[in-house]
Amino acid sequence: MSERALVVLSGGQDSTTCLFWAIERYGKDDVSSITFDYGQRHRIELDCASKIADCAGVPNVQVPIDTFTALGGNALTDDIEVDDGTADANSLPNTFVPGRNLVFMTFAAAYAWQNDIKHLVTGVAQTDYSGYPDCRDETIKSLQQTLRLGMETDVEIHTPLMHLSKKETVQLAASLGAIDAMALTHTCYKGERPPCGRCAACEIRAKGFAEAGIADPLVSQ
């Protein structure tokens, strides 16, 4: 298996940073990206992912997953008002799609298996995580083992942002020359462009840029 890498690119700030991280580590010619069309309400994410990959000069394959919409019941695919989870500290936010990252990574691993790619890169982080248990380091390590056993492969899952704060993620993006590309990303839970600036996702992003002392080109453009 070659030293090629596949980045799971959502069109957001974190996965875009990971794309530039992978390009620096493996070289542009050995990096590609995969984006899942899982019925997300904010279809703009798919367009963002495509433009970000173009900007970075790597291929982007978009793969459908119709299953989450069929299962329903969450605010990312259904017409349900976003609840950021702050109302009840003991419950998961209603943006939680059970198993979403597990499914994304399993399909990414299947694509990698078919295309002789060893390295998977994902922008999950547990530092600032919004209550999503499938973004934690322990979960990803267990998933890597499951994928290795289930596909007889030595796939490696890389999570360069796992233990970074949003401030540190912005600093990493700056060190990788990825700030300009941030103008192409999408973060807002409300799907607004320019971003609403008030939802939990916008607030976390703004705080990261502010603490890093770097202007967010998405806001200032």
Q: Which of 79, 81, 88, 138 binds a copy of itself (CB under 8 A)?
A: 138
CA distances from residue 125 to 134, 157, 169 in whole angstroms, order as listed: 10, 13, 10
- Write out the binding residues for a copy of itself, residues 109-128 only, by CB under 8 A: 109-111, 113-114
Q: Which of 67, 86, 154, 193 binds a copy of itself (CB under 8 A)?
A: 67
Least Å distance between CB 165 and a copy of itself?
A: 23
Question: What element of type H or E holds 167?
Answer: helix 166-175
Pairwise CA distance, residues 23 & 55, whole Å: 12
CB closer to a copy of itself out of 26 and 96: 96
Query: Hey, which bits of 38-87 come out as E strands?
Result: 60-64
Residue 123 amino acid letter: G
Residues 150-189: x where in contact with a copy of itself by CB under 8 A, - otherwise, as a string: xxx-------------------------------------
66 near a copy of itself, judged by CB under 8 A: yes
2 near a copy of itself, judged by CB under 8 A: no
70 near a copy of itself, judged by CB under 8 A: yes
Contact assessment for residue 48 and residue 21, using Cβ atoms and an 8 Å cutoff: no
107 near a copy of itself, judged by CB under 8 A: yes
- The piece of 15-23, 105-113, 171-179, 198-206 that touches a copy of itself (CB under 8 A) is 105-113
- The piece of 16-24, 107-115, 184-192, 203-211 that touches a copy of itself (CB under 8 A) is 107-115
Pairing of strands 2-8, 156-158: unpaired
Pairwise CA distance, residues 164 & 213, whole Å: 16
Pairwise CA distance, residues 216 & 221, whole Å: 8
Contact assessment for residue 75 and residue 83, using Cβ atoms and an 8 Å cutoff: yes
Least Å distance between CB 10 and a copy of itself?
A: 16
CB closer to a copy of itself out of 16 and 101: 101
Pairwise CA distance, residues 72 & 69, whole Å: 5
130 near a copy of itself, judged by CB under 8 A: no
Pairwise CA distance, residues 47 & 155, whole Å: 28
Q: Which of left, alpha, beta for 33 (phi over 0: left; psi -120 to 50: alpha)? A: beta
Q: Which residues bind a copy of itself (CB under 8 A)?
A: 63-68, 70-71, 73, 92, 97-99, 101-103, 106-107, 109-111, 113-114, 133-134, 136, 138-139, 142-143, 145-147, 149-152
